[in-house]
Structure 1
Amino acid sequence: MPPAEPAAVQGPVDLLLPSARGRAVREAPATSAAGSAAVGSAPGGLASVRSAPVGPALLAAAVLVVSVAAAVRVGTADVGWAGLARVLGARLGLAVEPLPPLLDSLVWDLRLPRVLMAALVGAALAVCGTVLQAVTRNALADPYLLGVSSGASTGAVAVVVLGVGASTLGVTGGALAGALLSFGLLLLLLRRSGLDSVRIVLTGVVVGQLFTALTSLALMASADADTTRAVTHWLLGSLAPARWNTVAVCAVVTPLGVLAAWLCAHALDGLAFGADTAASLGIGVRRTRMLLLVVTAVLTAVAVATVGAIGFVGLIVPHGVRFLVGPLHRALLPCAALAGAVFLVWTDALARIAFAPREVPVGVLTALLGVPLFLLVLRRRGEL
């Protein structure tokens, strides 16, 4: 089953960013009573004194490139650096001797798309968690807060178990349709609200529980033991089905979603301090929240539809990166994306070799690794 939707925890900004408030205030310029100095000319309303530091982002990008190359080599069949270079060279049309067809296909058709998918999904989930923690001011917010993963699970089960649309949609298409349906229901329920953080959290939990119940009902009513086992494996999250066509979809959606969130970085800085503060800084709160909810829902829907529900990435990575680079989203978002990509690449590599030749669903390992890492972050920040 997908990760349980987090409980609605609403509190002051110190709950979400205990060290962020003081740091953001120190880094922000002095304001007049009307707040005109703070607004400046920055789009979204909250200007930062310094631009995003490029050092941490460049370092994280370099680590990601090395991690992708190293993770492609990891597996039951040994592939050296020279072999990896030969595969890439042969695919690029260079004058190199290709590897034997079986090994070449293993690297190019299985491992490389899987590792790239891990990087894209990890980046998408980390950015979604970062955005939702600011929009809802909820320390427990993660990409599955809106109930999208539960809708995707229902869509996948409808295809696998009930055969609804099986000939045209497939599991991925069914999961994507279910995710978008659940998000549409969320927007329908929120249409007359002001999109305040409490309503978003509570409505998301309700929608998630509804689709979780539908998924369980379909499994109990129509599935046999083998089908239930296969669906459960998918629901726990697995990158094994990754192929170049699904990588291409994520390679388009994820960068666009990350860019859209980054362009709203100043607005996210304001929303982290509450709707009233954001509105006083000239931010269109309802419009910005709606845009960011759509962006996170699309990113989450595509990720869950392709690899299943992988928990904890969108929860622990934003907290850890915030501890390292600070609360300002101009730096936080790109660093979180890169850190999420690195984290999931190596977690998936561990999932492939930890119990070889059997493979552990990567969602299980992200939870096992995420709990102690999250506790460590809380302890380092003095909250535990």
Structure 2
Amino acid sequence: MTGTRPGSRLRYPALLGGLVLVLLAAALAGLALGSVRIPAGQVLDIVTGAAEPGPYRAIVLDVRLPRVVLGAVTGAGLAVIGTVLQALVRNPLADPFLLGVSSGASAGAVAVIVLGVGAGAATTVALPAAAFAGALTALVLVYALARRAGSLTGGRLVLAGVAVSYVLSALTSLILVTSARAEHVQEVLHWTLGGLGGARWDMLALPAAALTLGTLVLITLARPLDLLLVGEEGATVLGLDTGRFRAAVFVLASLLTGVLVAYSGAIGFVGLMVPHAARMVVGAAHRTLLPVAALGGAAFLVLADLAARTVAAPQDIPVGVLTALTGGPFFLWMLRGRGARAEGGPA
């Protein structure tokens, strides 16, 4: 716990303040840099309303700012979900992408797009609802398959997640190739690769509300999440109904994943890398870990999206491609480290 070390009560607020500053700096860079570079001072004037109407106003307020906000919301949400999933299954390799949750949400969202379920406001409701259903189905399947093979271990969990992810990806491809409309290809690529280029102000309210409410609820559940870290038997002895608690938090995690994926697509490895880094800084106590993971995830994805639209400018690379390029080696490094610890020596 952070309160067990001298001066930690002062260091933790300073850490949160530092992360907020990093997030603000990342957001400013995201607003200023791109195919059109805008001076940082002018960006601040536009955002605060001090600037006169000009050619940069629409770029900052209507194009880049919604994208930065969606990136921050999505990054924070994925980091929080990853943190919670790692506690629920007691494995630091758990991640919405690796466990097939993001693939399930993508499959549900793609089905709505291709099948043309509803229109206008109906689609606004149907898209996150279908993504939630797909995410929850995937998570239940992965957990059931891993448990059925015997005791729940990290290896079984990851293998089950990869298997379910492949099946759902194949289902997504099947839905796409059997569609009679060729224009669905670009839309579906948004969900399968993950991207923030379609961000608009009218689509930010639901993911922002879901992130805020979901994170607040999970922070109130910090103690039972901590109890799971001591093991299922120990948590039961201490009064936690682990079955009901896991089921309830799985539903909450799936709901949050579904909402985020419905607007940003499947962005992988944020929920793996950020919680691991946050845990190294503040420890495993979830009351302190969750806010740090949320702020770190927000800043990370804003910066990753900035790189995605500047590294090959004017071409806009899906941000999910860059997170996979960084997350894949990180995942292999974690596997190697866990393997070395299991063998009792260096790998």
Whether these two folds match at TM > 0.5 is yes
Are 2:181 and 1:181 aligned? no
Q: Partners in 2 of 1:138 and 1:213 — Cα distance? A: 27
Q: State the partner residue of 2:69.
A: 116
Q: Partners in 2 of 1:321 and 1:197 — Cα distance? A: 28
Q: 1:312 to 1:185 in 2, by over 3 A?
A: closer
> How do 1:208-223 residues align onto structure 2 when only pairs under 5 Å count?
208=165, 211-222=168-179
Q: 1:379 to 1:156 in 2, by over 3 A?
A: closer
Q: Partners in 2 of 1:59 and 1:85 — Cα distance? A: 20
Moved more, 199-208 or 62-71: 199-208
Q: State the partner residue of 1:343.
A: 300
Q: Partners in 1 of 2:248 and 2:133 — Cα distance? A: 17
For residue 91 of structure 2, the aligned residue among 138, 151, 171 is 138
Q: 1:233 to 1:251 in 2, by over 3 A?
A: closer
| Structure 1 residue 353, shift from structure 2 partner | 0.5
For residue 104 of structure 1, the aligned residue among 57, 61, 69 is 57
Q: State the partner residue of 2:243.
A: 286
Are 2:257 and 1:297 aligned? no
Q: Partners in 1 of 2:38 and 2:269 — Cα distance? A: 30
Could you tell me the TM-score, scaled by structure 1's length? 0.75
- The count of aligned residue pairs is 331
CA contact (8 A) 1:146 1:208 kept: yes
Q: Partners in 2 of 1:68 and 1:197 — Cα distance? A: 44
The residue type paired with residue 179 of structure 1 is A
Q: Partners in 1 of 2:45 and 2:219 — Cα distance? A: 37
Structure 2 gaps of 5+ residues are 342-346
CA contact (8 A) 1:148 1:179 kept: no
Relative to total residues, which structure has the larger helix share, 1 or 2? 2
Greater Rg by CA: 1
Q: State the partner residue of 2:20.
A: 61
Structure 1 gaps of 5+ residues are 1-23, 29-49, 91-95
Q: Partners in 2 of 1:206 and 1:178 — Cα distance? A: 21
Q: Residue deviations 1:47-105, cap 9 Å, x none? A: xxx87933322221221122212221111111112211221232xxxxx34241x4211
Q: 1:349 to 1:146 in 2, by over 3 A?
A: same
CA contact (8 A) 2:105 2:261 kept: yes
CA contact (8 A) 1:76 1:356 kept: yes
Q: State the partner residue of 2:321.
A: 364
Q: 3-state SS of the aligned residue for 1:273?
A: coil
Q: Partners in 1 of 2:309 and 2:162 — Cα distance? A: 33
For residue 237 of structure 1, the aligned residue among 173, 194, 198 is 194
Q: 3-state SS of the aligned residue for 2:116?
A: coil
Q: 1:126 to 1:203 in 2, by over 3 A?
A: same
| Structure 1 residue 227, shift from structure 2 partner | 3.0
> How do 1:197-276 residues align onto structure 2 when only pairs under 5 Å count?
198=152, 201=157, 208=165, 211-222=168-179, 226-276=183-233
Superposition CA RMSD, Å: 3.4
> How do 1:304-323 residues align onto structure 2 when only pairs under 5 Å count?
304-323=261-280
> How do 1:28-47 residues align onto structure 2 when only pairs under 5 Å count?
none
Q: Partners in 2 of 1:167 and 1:80 — Cα distance? A: 37
Q: State the partner residue of 1:7.
A: none
CA contact (8 A) 1:160 1:166 kept: no
**% identical aligned pairs:** 44
The residue type paired with residue 134 of structure 1 is A
For residue 29 of structure 2, the aligned residue among 70, 73, 84 is 70
Q: Partners in 1 of 2:74 and 2:83 — Cα distance? A: 14
